[in-house]
Amino acid sequence: MIELQHLERRYGDAYAVRDLNLKFPEGELTALLGPSGCGKTTTLRMINRLTEPSAGRVLLGGRDTRDLRPEELRRGLGYVIQQIGLFPHLTVAQNVATVPELLGWDRRRTARRVDDLLELVGLDPAVYRAKKPGELSGGQAQRVGVARALAADPPVLLMDEPFGALDPLARDRLQDAFKDIQQRLRKTVVLVTHDIDEALRLGDRIALMHAGTLAQFGTPDDLIHRPASPFVRHFLGEDAVLRQLAGRAAAEFVRPGDPAGLPRIADTLDARSALGVMLREGSDALAVLREGVPLGVLRWDDLRVREAQARKAQA
């Protein structure tokens, strides 16, 4: 879908991005991860040409993006930024309608689309349509930001630390909401973040950058279990597995079994917390309950050896 070939951006003598080769798989969310200043934003902005590359090229569906007018290119790529950038003089509905209006959609179609999108991002259209951005909380405003980026149904969504400015609670909720939305829409998403948890939680793939170059590209499991360099291992940290578990529900690991006598947890608990319960209770299995009804059993081995087993199976 999106392919970067020998992409490069220089500022004076310094490289912000250097010889970057990367293919963002269609319909998947790729987290562009890396420490501050490693060139994530620059890379993202070269995709929609807010920053022009010094060398190399960006292919979108096989076409060189330089062959398109920048405005046309950008109307086909949803764009969400950390500062959200809602226009304060326009209502929520008018903000969401920005790109459809630029594309010349008729009024009724636009109005219908705006309502659909507000519902998609979890905001009641009747309540929020006519509000001004100044009346929204940070989380609500970013939901509108996402709705606005999706307005013209672009196949690609470019997001630069979209949840970065939110408090932890709002961030968690919005990440969950966005995961749901992405599961339904299957956009090709490039999500810039320096937050490892966020990358592990939302990314189908992770592209880890280091000083303007690509350190590793792969699934979260690839990066955690097969780091390509000491930098990758060091950046993810020794607790990367725990972080990954934190992003998954305990229910994902449940297998049938006899829950009698086991400590109980709710199926909504995340897997890292479930592990914490095991340690606290000194038990290597837990009964998982959905609304009080036993669902099955979560075993220590299932959390522990999943990846090791996979490797053995391959050998």
Partner 1 sequence: MTSVPASRRPSRVPWGVIVWPALLAFCLLPGVLPRLVQPLTAGERLTFEPPLWQLTLTHLGLVLLATGVVLLIGVPLAVVVTRPGREALRHLTETLVGLGQTVPTFAVLALAVPALGFGWAPTLLGLIVYGLVPVVSNGVAGLLSVEGHLLDAARGMGMSPWQRLQRVELPLALPVLLAGVRTSTVYNVGTATIGAALGAGGLGAPIINGLSQQNPGLVLVGAVLAALLALSLDALLGLVVSSPLSPAE
Ligand X SMILES: Nc1ncnc2c1ncn2[C@@H]1O[C@H](COP(=O)(O)OP(=O)(O)OP(=O)(O)O)[C@@H](O)[C@H]1O
Interface residues toward ligand X, by CB under 6 A: 11, 16, 34, 36-42, 194
Q: Which of 135, 176, 258, 301 binds partner 1 (CB under 8 A)?
A: 135
Kindly state whether residue 85 participates in binding partner 1, applying the rule CB under 8 A. yes
CB nearer ligand X, residue 8 or residue 267: 8
Site string for partner 1, 89-108 (x = CB under 8 A): x--------xx--x------
Kindly state whether residue 41 participates in binding Mg ion, applying the rule CB under 5 A. yes
CB nearer partner 1, residue 32 or residue 251: 32
- Out of partner 1, Mg ion, ligand X, none, which partner does residue 36 contact, by CB within 5 to 8 A per kind? ligand X
Q: How many residues bind partner 1 (CB under 8 A)?
A: 26
**Rounded Cα–Cα distance for residues 97 and 91 (Å):** 10
Kindly state whether residue 216 participates in binding Mg ion, applying the rule CB under 5 A. no
Q: Which stretch binds partner 1 (CB under 8 A): 70-78, 110-118, 218-226, 249-257?
A: 70-78
Q: Which stretch binds Mg ion (CB under 5 A): 21-29, 33-41, 123-131, 279-287?
A: 33-41
Q: Which of 67, 71, 106, 238 binds partner 1 (CB under 8 A)?
A: 71
Kindly state whether residue 82 participates in binding Mg ion, applying the rule CB under 5 A. no
Minimum CB–partner distance for residue 14 and partner 1 (Å):
22
Minimum CB–partner distance for residue 28 and partner 1 (Å):
22
Kindly state whether residue 233 participates in binding partner 1, applying the rule CB under 8 A. no
Minimum CB–partner distance for residue 13 and Mg ion (Å):
21
Kindly state whether residue 171 participates in binding partner 1, applying the rule CB under 8 A. no
String of DSSP letters for the chain: -EEEEEEEEEETTEEEEEEEEEEEPTT-EEEEE-STTSSHHHHHHHHTTSS--SEEEEEETTEEGGGS-HHHHHHTEEEEETT----TTS-HHHHHTHHHHHTT--HHHHHHHHHHHHHHTT--HHHHTT--GGGS-HHHHHHHHHHHHHTT--SEEEEESTTTTS-HHHHHHHHHHHHHHHHHH--EEEEEES-HHHHHHH-SEEEEEETTEEEEEE-HHHHHHS-SSHHHHHHH-TTHHHHHHHTSBGGGG-B----TTS-EEETTSBHHHHHHHHHHHT-SEEEEEETTEEEEEEEHHHHHSHHHHHHHHH-
Going across the sheet that includes 264-266, the strands are: 264-266, 285-290, 293-299
CB nearer partner 1, residue 131 or residue 248: 131
Kindly state whether residue 210 participates in binding partner 1, applying the rule CB under 8 A. no
